[in-house]
Every structure is written in C-alpha cells, then in structure tokens.
Amino acid sequence: MSVKDLILTPTGLRFAGRRFACTIGRGGIAVDKREGDGATPVGVHRIVGMYYRPDRLRGADLPAWAQPIGLRDLWSDDVTDPDYNHLVRAPHPFGHEVMRRADPLYDMVMITDWNWPDAVAGRGSAIFLHQWRRVGFPTAGCVAFNPVDLRWIAARVQLGARLIVRR
C-alpha cells in the first residue's frame, strides 16, 4: 500500500494521510458482487476515469484527465446490453443510468475498473466514487462522500490509483 491508495476501512476512507467519512452500498461489502445487490465489491479497483458537470463545477480544481459529462452521456447497467458497464450515449435502447443527473450525486464522479472494460454480464456495474445524498445514506454499491471531501480527493488522486476494499 502507498499514500496514493484509497483504503476503505470500517471508519471511513483513508487517502493522502487523511480519513474521510463515506457511505457504501446498502448491501454492505460483498465478495461475490452481482448486478442489483447494492453491495460494494471487495477487491483492488483502479480509478480509470473521472467525469464532472462543467455547468456546476466551473473552475473546480480537477485533474487534466477529468472529462466533462455530456448532455447525452449514460452508463449501461443492463446485463443484456453489448455495452454493459460502459459509458454510452442517448438515445440508448437498453437500461442505463443518466450521468447528467438533476440531483448533484454525479456532479463529479470517479470511475473504477470494477467489471470493466471486459464486463461479465450480471457481475455488477458502475462502482463509482461520487457525492453522497446525505450522511449515512447508503448507495447502490458505490462509495460516496461529502462534496467538499470528494473534490479534495479528486484534486489529488492519480489516474490508476487503487481503491482497496477489504471485508
């Protein structure tokens, strides 16, 4: 482990010498992650991308590799979709999540390599790091933070950093 790693612990996430409050999936931490189980998967997951809302985070301190979320950006979570667990664009005939949400949850989102790029249908999709709804409110499997903490992490995390989740 190194200071570049993001370590999920029972008391929060450790990164860069700090500890951050966070929430995880409503299904807890799972060894055998499945689509729709609400669990955060055990493992070492690399940060492979970052997206943000340019209309909401103008001037934010984000790394050069962060990409703006487009008006038509979606994330496929349909196990029958050939593009399952990938960024797709509307219109899209399969089930998906809208990346440019009305609420602030995905104003800035880090993408992990959980079941990506070679997705196995049903193994679970979209393990992101994003803003929480409120303190203690669980996610559908992602790791969520206070927006100020999330932006602090985003300004310092490196592409390829490891999110380490242990049971």
Per residue in 131-141, pLDDT (tens digit) is 999 999 999 99
Banded pLDDT at 35 (limits 50, 70, 90)? very high
Question: What is the number of other CB atoms lying within 10 angstroms of the CB of residue 123?
Answer: 16
Q: pLDDT at residue 103 above 90? A: yes
Give the per-residue pLDDT at 2: 81
CATH number of the structural domain 6-165: 2.40.440
CB atoms within 10 A of CB 59: 6
CA distance linking residue 128 with residue 48, whole number of Å: 10
Asked if 74 contacts 92 with a C-beta cutoff of 8 angstroms, the reply is: yes
Per-residue pLDDT, 59 = 78
Q: Give me the mean pLDDT over the 140-150 stretch.
A: 98
With tokens 């370590």, the residue in question is 7
Over 80: is that where the pLDDT of 87 sits?
yes
Extents of the domains making up the chain = 6-165
Give, for 12, the enclosing helix (H) or strand (E).
Answer: strand 12-15
pTM: 0.96
